Structure 1
């Protein structure tokens, strides 16, 4: 399953709303095929605990990659700023 869909379902749950296909689709951060949305919502409705298990297992690697990417961008900007200061 796509973690983006489960993230959208988690947002709805955090807001106290019951996930539906339409609500989940409206909360997506990026386009996802409709069958994937339907499957995720169905999975949640059949086993609400499955969303928690999926989010716990998939969340850590994504956060690590995101932090590394952000750190790389910050380092590049810092290098640019230091280069500008050295020129003056």
Structure 2
């Protein structure tokens, strides 16, 4: 399954919505050929567990860790900018 389509279906499932071709297409970040979208939605409808297995098999970093590290980087950049401005 195309990663972009998988992510779109995952977003819909997280929102509690049933993936359809139109909803999945509206959630895509980048253009994907319609046959790929149709195949992915059909795969989900025929075997909903397949998408959950894909979700479990993907290693996802902890969102709180990534948010914290991103915040740390932003603070560090801000400190450097303030130091430059004070000169």
Structure 2: unaligned runs, 5 residues or longer: 61-65, 67-76
- Contact in 2 for aligned 1:3/1:55 (Cα 8 Å): no
Alignment of 1:47 onto 2:56: no
Structure 1: unaligned runs, 5 residues or longer: 61-66, 68-76
Superposition TM-score, scaled by structure 2 size: 0.65
Residue 12 (structure 1) aligns with: 12
Deviation at 1:21, TM superposition (A): 0.2
Deviation at 1:59, TM superposition (A): 4.8
How many positions carry a matched residue from both structures?
84
Residue 22 (structure 2) aligns with: 22
- For 2:14 and 2:55, how far apart are their aligned partners in 1? 13
